[in-house]
Amino acid sequence: MTTSGSSAEALIRLREVHKVYHMGSTDVHALAGVSMEIMPGEFVSITGASGSGKSTMMGILGCLDRPTKGDYYFDGQPAGALSDRQLAHTRNQSIGFVFQTFNLLPRTSARDNVAVPLFYARKVRTHHDALEALEMVGLADRAHHAPSELSGGERQRVAIARAIVNHPKLLLADEPTGNLDTHTGAQIMMIFHQLHQRGVTVVLVTHEPDIATQAQRIIQMRDGKIIHDGPVEPDRRAQAMESTRVLAQQKRNRESVGT
C-alpha cells in the first residue's frame, strides 16, 4: 500500500526516473531524473524542444518501455514489479495511445482497426464496441472504409477510437495534431476535451502553444528533465479552448456545404 498520504491517489507517479539509451560507445540520457505526479481526471500538456525526452517519457507512462532507473507507479501499482505480460495487460485495459503518425493497419477497415485492442482483451462484442467508439469520434459512417480512403483527420479519429475502445483511464497522445492542419487539429482537440469531460485523464505532447494552453497544466522538458511544471491560467485556457471550438465549427460548416 501507500506510505505517504499526499500521493495516495495519483494515477501517475514517477520517482527519479532515468532512461539511458546505449548507442555504440555513447550513452544518451533521454530522461535524467524525472519526478512528477498526475492525478486522475487531469489534462496535462508536455512541451519541450525536439530531443528533450517527451516521447521517451510517454513510452514509460504508457508501459511500452521501462525506466533504466527509478520508479513508475501507475494507479498505485509499481510498474517495475509487473511482468511484461502484466504490463501488456495494464496497457490494454487502462491506457490508450495516440501517435502523430496514426499507426493504423493499412488494408483493414476503420471498424476492424478500432477492434484490435478488443481482440487482445478477448471481448466478444467487438463490432458493437468498435462502432460505439467510432460513433464517439463522429465516424460511424466510415466504419467500412480503409485508411487510404480517409483524410488525415479521419485517420487520426479512427486512431483515437481505437485508443478509447476499452474505456481506458489514461489517454496518452504524442503530437497527435503534428501532421494535421489547424482546423483539423482543432477537431481532434475537441474530441480530447470531450473525453476529458467524461473523466479520462489526458496527457498530450505538443510543440504548439495554442494547443498546450488547452490543458489544465503544462510540463516543460529540457535535456531529459522537467524544467517547469505549473497550471495554465484559467482565462488563457478558456480563450484557447474557445478558438479551438470556433476552428472546429468552421471546418464542420465547410464540410456540410461541400456534401
Q: Which residues bind ligand ADP (CB under 6 A)?
A: 21, 23, 28, 30, 48, 50-56
Q: How far is the C-alpha of 193 from the C-alpha of 168, rounded, in Å?
A: 15
Q: Which is nearer to ligand ADP, 136 or 218 (CB)?
A: 218
For ligand ADP, the closer of residues 117 and 176 by Cβ is: 176
Question: Minimum Å distance from CB 51 to ligand ADP?
Answer: 4
Yes or no: say if 61 and 72 are a contact pair by the CB < 8 Å rule: yes
Other C-beta atoms within 10 Å of 164: how many? Answer: 22
Nearer to ligand ADP, 30 or 161 (CB): 30
Evaluate whether 214 touches 45 at the Cβ level (below 8 Å).
yes
Q: Which is nearer to ligand ADP, 93 or 179 (CB)?
A: 179
Interface region with Mg ion, contact rule CB under 5 A, candidates 51-59, 160-168, 184-192, 231-239: 51-59
- Picking from 114, 143, 141, 142, the residue whose alpha carbon sits closest to that of residue 129 is 114
56 is an interface residue for Mg ion by CB under 5 A: no
* Residue of closest CB approach to Mg ion: 55
- Smallest gap from Cβ 155 to ligand ADP, in A, equals 21
Stretch that binds Mg ion, among 33-41, 48-56, 188-196, 237-245 (CB under 5 A): 48-56
Residue with cell 535535456: 223
Q: State the nearest-atom distance from the C-beta of 142 to ligand ADP, in Å.
A: 30
Residue 36 grid coordinates: 512528477
Q: Which stretch binds Mg ion (CB under 5 A): 12-20, 39-47, 54-62, 244-252?
A: 54-62
55 interacts with Mg ion by CB under 5 A: yes
The separation between CA 67 and the C-alpha centre of its own chain, rounded to angstroms, equals 19
Whichever of 19 and 183 has its CB closer to ligand ADP, that residue is 19
Q: Which three cell numbers stand for residue 133?
A: 467508439
Q: What is the dihedral of CA 130, 133, 137, 138, to 10 degrees?
A: 60
Q: Which is nearer to ligand ADP, 53 or 153 (CB)?
A: 53
Residue 52 C-beta: closest distance to Mg ion, Å: 8
Cβ burial of 179 (10 Å; 0-12, 13-18, 19+) is middle
Question: Which of ligand ADP, Mg ion, none has residue 48 at its interface (CB below 5 to 8 Å by kind)?
Answer: ligand ADP
Question: Which residues of 39-103 form beta strands (DSSP E)?
Answer: 43-48, 69-74, 77-78, 95-99
**Contact residues: Mg ion, CB under 5 A:** 54-55
